[in-house]
Chains A and B, each alone.
Chain A
Amino acid sequence: DAKTTQPTSMDCAEGRAANLPCNHSTISGNEYVYWYRQIHSQGPQYIIHGLKNNETNEMASLIITEDRKSSTLILPHATLRDTAVYYCIVRVATRGGADGLTFGKGTHLIIQP
């Protein structure tokens, strides 16, 4: 799986959009970009994933650049409960065999009141 680079930490004001960048310059054509987050003392939680098109769900939006070498996770209206470590993971989604996730250090997002 391709390696990802994320800032160690970020702050965002409550109610504002939180934009979390991720660089994955060595991504392959068949690798997806996944985002998970881990709130303190909880298990990781899936947020969103995409291949090359921008994606949106009830939690967030994912913007992937045209060359697919970087992406941005957007939390449109951040709340205090969004304070967590956010992980950007690049991987091939496989079938016919289980494949674990490779977590990096992630970005510690702190939402300020």
Chain B
Amino acid sequence: DTAVSQTPKYLVTQMGNDKSIKCEQNLGHDTMYWYKQDSKKFLKIMFSYNNKELIINETVPNRFSPKSPDKAHLNLHINSLELGDSAVYFCASSQEGPRLSTDTQYFGPGTRLTVL
């Protein structure tokens, strides 16, 4: 069973389009994340979300918006795609435990977005 899954695995689209990437976790976790890995392989947090709050990395353009229909899903919507949005996007999840050190994050396989 896949713990954290993402669809699609590959996404090729034109500049200016609006697209979504879906993420689902079957771990029962209450916190989910979106990360972006650019062409230089730097991996950066974009959003983290649980049922209490959405934390946004201030460097993320407002064209990017996370949407969570329920606790097991956190989808990423991107409006007006730009060339610089080309990257691999990773979803992750974690569970806040009774001990502060237990928030291990589990990552999905990634979605490679190419904007032409």
Contact = CB atoms under 8 A, between A and B. Distances in A.
Contacts of B42: 103, 105
A43 B55 contact: no
Interface of A: 32, 36, 38, 41-46, 49, 51, 85, 87, 93-103, 105
Interface in B87-112: 90, 92, 94, 96, 100-110
16 contacts: A32-B101, A43-B4, A43-B107, A43-B109, A46-B104, A46-B106, A49-B104, A85-B41, A93-B101, A94-B100, A97-B50, A99-B55, A99-B103, A103-B42, A103-B43, A105-B41
List 5 tightest A-B contacts by C-beta distance, closest first. A100-B45, A43-B107, A98-B48, A103-B43, A93-B100
B90 A97 contact: no
A43 B110 contact: yes
A95 B35 contact: no
A49 B52 contact: no
Contacts, number: 69
Given A43-B90, A103-B42, A49 B33 contact: no
Contact of B44 (A44, A45, A96, A103): A103
B10 to A, nearest CB: 11
A43 B9 CA distance: 12
Chain A binding surface SS class: loop
Of B43, B49, B102, B104, chain A has the most CB atoms within 10 Å of the CB of B43
A95 B96 contact: yes
Given A93-B101, A95-B100, A44 B50 contact: no
A105 B110 CA distance: 18
B52 A97 contact: yes
A100 B103 contact: no
A43 B108 contact: yes
A98 B110 contact: no
Contacts of B92: 43-44
